[in-house]
Structure 1
Amino acid sequence: MQDSEVAYLKFDQDQARTLAAASQYLADLGGPQAPGVASQARQWAQRLQPILDASQKAVLQRFADGQLSALMCSQMTCPGSDPVPEHLPQLATLAQSERCLYLASRNQLLLALASYRAFAFDIDNEGQIVRLVGNFKGGGSVPRPGEEHNTRIELSSHAGLRLGPHTEAPYNCSVVAREGRSPAPSALILSARWNPANEPTRIIPLRGILEQLGSLHALALTSASFDFTRSDCFVAGQGDAGKATTMLQFDPNGGFSLRYNSYRFSLNDHASDAAARAFDAFQALVRDAQPLPFVLQPDTALLVNNNRALHGRDILQDNRRLLVRLFGYSRFASPVVLNDDPLLVRG
């Protein structure tokens, strides 16, 4: 069953060259945060469609329709050499670098190929579309230069701590905005600038877990019985914890959508015994699941369906590992739009 939840998209040399040229064009315009680039990405995606074969188009359509947990893209190219540094540079330096801008632009183009829109939340990542995922704040297996052992390390993708299985926040709704809050990302895309220790991103498809869980337990997960804590990556003063929310909802486009975080979700004090049993059973199945490992490098990118898959990683072994992440909304998502170009939504 897991094989049916994951697909692979390999580009041939001609396709890779065209993809690289398009990505560089978008990067030269300023990348995903620059006005007008989203429209250019959609236009390039339309130009790329005719050079894809039938099987590649079918795989992209499955992801666009919400029928896959993950899609691994491979055999892509990057311009020039980019040796791994001795230490991870400062975040501000990396954010302005040509290579990160290129990878972010390619990610935006791949999202567009799958009919997704890159976007940012106003409450997260300082309202920026591109998130650089690396150990900037400590917590990895090897201390960063100057890292103090008694410092509290935030539990986010800007630290080196283990991140247990989770979907991406916010956790209030999944597809349509509710009470003035936009839904969680439909998808995320990750690529690696550096990954010298070949440390994997781990994916747990949720369809099989829900099938094992059974109908009554799954029904209990649709009740407003769960709490979650505030995400550490939210902008100061914005974003709240949640009380008495649901985990699972029916989605006519993908079949279901689930919101969960192994280190942020808990049972509400007023939850029923049935909801408590369902939560325990779900967490046990997640603990026992065998995650699928995906080792990212500059020539690959991983699209993750945030409605039907959990993702996570182990504690970082090499602090130079750096991923480039973008969020995407599917054509079914209805957020609260604050700015159209670049797309910024209320979280």
Structure 2
Amino acid sequence: MQDSEVAYLEFTQDQADALFVASQSLARLGGPEVFGAAGKARQCAEALTRSLDAQQQATLRRFADGTLSALMYRGMSCPEHDPIPEDLPELQGLEHDPRCIYLASRNQILLELVRYRAFAFDIDNEGKQVRLVGNFKGGGSQPRPQETRDTRVELSSHAGLRLGPHTEAPYNCSVIARDDHSPAPSALILTARWNPANEPTHVIPMREVIEGLGSLHALALTSASFDFTRSDCFVAGSGEPEQATAMLQFDANGGFALRYNSYRFSLNDQASDLAAQAFDAFQQRVAETRPRPFVLQPDTALVINNNRALHGRDILQDNRRLLVRLFGYSPFAQPRVITPDPLLVRG
């Protein structure tokens, strides 16, 4: 039975070999951070698409058209054996590690397969395209070296804390820039360099949740009745809190676009009783919905529709878990562009 919200694309060995060669070629150029990488990734994706069968191409179109919550790529190849270290290495060294650059390059090609373009925000991750997601700041089930009880742990993907259901920030708008704020990412793509405990990434498709609220509650979520606080990982002075924004908006290209964070969203003081009831009903339905678990390894990658699904994870049990993440914009997204290549936008 075909899943209406989640799809899987399994590469053949020949396709996996072609993707491996293309990813290696892109990595040798320097990966997503360098000028010209986006065009090269697009060319690689176009060549790979020609080798896909009709069913594989139809799966890609479903995500590109905005009707899937998540797409899992499987059956990919990696470079030589990569043993799991005793401890997670320092972030600065990993950012220049050839293996991480290879996985990031492959992610960029995989984004291009669904016609999404990789990008970075100026206020997040130091404006870099590639984010390495791991417990660099503490807060996991086991303490990091030199971590103490007094260590302040930021609520971000650079810590080992539980991340509740959320869409990726910023939360000002979802598709078209507003008030000089670029929209939230249309998607994010994740793969794992190391995941020794097979710890899953959780995805909650939201169409059924929203439809179950009923028309009046769904309409109330489109009102400017909600506040959000800034992300810990944003540049100081940027990504400031905002009052009276909407959580849900109609999107002609995907049906709807949602903005939400279980930690950062609250009800505005001036919200109506109906908006308050809708917010309570929404949070209750999210809490009652069983998330879909996706265990990432180097031979898989997961693309999450940031407008259509929430994602999160439990507290990390093994601090060596390391994911490689890129943000992507759909062809419909209209950001405030600072630099077109590599694509950097105003957050």
Structure 2 match to 1:336? 336
Matched residues, number: 347
- Alignment partner, residue 281 of structure 2: 281
Partner residue of 2:20? 20
Q: Which amino acid aligns with 1:331?
A: P
Q: Which amino acid aligns with 2:71?
A: L
Task: Output the CA distance in 2 between the equivalents of 1:50 and 1:211.
Answer: 37
| Structure 1 unaligned blocks of 5 or more | none
1:134–1:157 CA contact under 8 A, matched in 2: yes
Displacement after TM superposition at 1:239 (Å)? 1.5
Distance 1:139 1:2 in 2: 38
1:1-34 superposed Cα distances (whole Å, 9 cap, x missing partner): 9921000000010000000000000000000000
Q: CA deviation at 1:237?
A: 2.4
Native 8 Å contact 1:197 1:318 kept in 2 = yes
Q: Secondary structure at the match of 1:47?
A: helix
For residue 268 of structure 2, what is the aligned residue in structure 1? Answer: 268
SS in 2 for 1:4: coil
Aligned mates of 1:173, 1:272 — CA distance in 2:
21
C-alpha contact (below 8 Å) 1:104/1:325 kept by paired residues: yes
2:85 aligns with 85
Query: Are 1:156 and 2:156 matched, yes or no?
Result: yes
CA–CA distance in structure 2, aligned partners of residues 168 and 139 of structure 1: 20
| % identity of equivalent residues | 74
Cα distance, 1:295 vs. partner?
Answer: 0.1
Contact kept in structure 2, 1:2 and 1:208, CA below 8 Å? no
Q: C-alpha separation between the residues in 2 aligned to 1:204 and 1:2?
A: 17
Q: Distance in 1 between matches of 2:237 and 2:218?
A: 34
Paired with 1:239 and 1:316, the residues of 2 have a C-alpha distance of 27
Is the Cα contact below 8 Å between 1:2 and 1:205 reproduced in 2?
no
Counterpart residue number, 1:303: 303
Q: Hey, what does 1:61 align to over in structure 2?
A: 61
After TM superposition, the structure 1 = structure 2 runs for residues 103-114 of structure 1, keeping only pairs within 5 Å, are 103-114=103-114
For 1:87 and 1:276, the matched residues in 2 are separated by 46
Q: Distance in 2 between matches of 1:70 and 1:49?
A: 19
User: Which whole-Å deviations, capped at 9, do the CAs of 1:274-299 have from their partners, x for residues lacking one?
Assistant: 00000000000000000000000000
Asked if 2 retains the 8 angstrom alpha-carbon contact of 1:168 and 1:306, the reply is yes
Q: TM-score, normalised by structure 2?
A: 0.99
Instruction: State the partner residue of 1:95.
Output: 95
Q: How does 1:173-322 map to 2 (within 5 A)?
A: 173-322=173-322
- Rounded to whole Å, the distance in 2 between the matches of 1:250 and 1:186 is 14
Question: Using the alignment, how far apart are the partners of 1:90 and 1:344 within structure 2?
Answer: 25
| Offset at residue 238 of structure 1 (A) | 1.7
Distance 1:273 1:130 in 2: 42
Deviation readout 1:72-110 (Å, 9 max, x if unpaired): 000000010100000000000000000000000000000
Cα offsets for 1:89-137 (capped at 9, x unmatched):
0000000000000000000000001000000000111100000000000
| Distance (Å, rounded) in 2 between the aligned partners of 1:53 and 1:92 | 40
> Residues of 2 paired with 1:312 and 1:239: CA distance?
21
Question: Structure 1 length as normaliser, TM-score?
Answer: 0.99
Q: Secondary structure at the match of 2:112?
A: helix
C-alpha displacement of 1:152: 1.8
- In the alignment, is the contact (CA less than 8 A) between 1:95 and 1:132 conserved in 2? yes
Take 1:47 and 1:27, find their aligned partners in 2: how far apart are those partners?
Answer: 17
Asked whether the equivalents of residues 203 and 292 of structure 1 are also in contact (C-alpha less than 8 Å), the reply is yes
Secondary structure of the 2:32 match is coil
Q: In 2, distance between residues paired with 1:191 and 1:133?
A: 10
Give the Cα separation in 1 of the matches to 2:229 and 2:73.
33
In the alignment, the residues of structure 2 paired with residue 211 and residue 140 of structure 1 have an alpha-carbon distance, to the nearest angstrom, of 35
Aligned to 1:119: 119
Between the aligned partners of 1:73 and 1:162, the Cα distance in structure 2 is: 25
Distance 1:253 1:215 in 2: 20
Deviations 1:277-326 (A, max 9, x none): 00000000000000000000000000000000000000000000000000
What secondary structure, in the 3-state scheme, does the structure 1 residue paired with 2:34 have? coil
**Post-superposition shift, 1:63?**
0.4
The amino acid across from 1:15 in the alignment is Q
Question: What SS is found at the alignment partner of 1:3?
Answer: coil
| Consecutive aligned runs of 4 or more in structure 1 exceeding 2 Å deviation | none
Give the aligned residue type for 2:148: E
Distance in 2 separating the partners of 1:237 and 1:84:
38
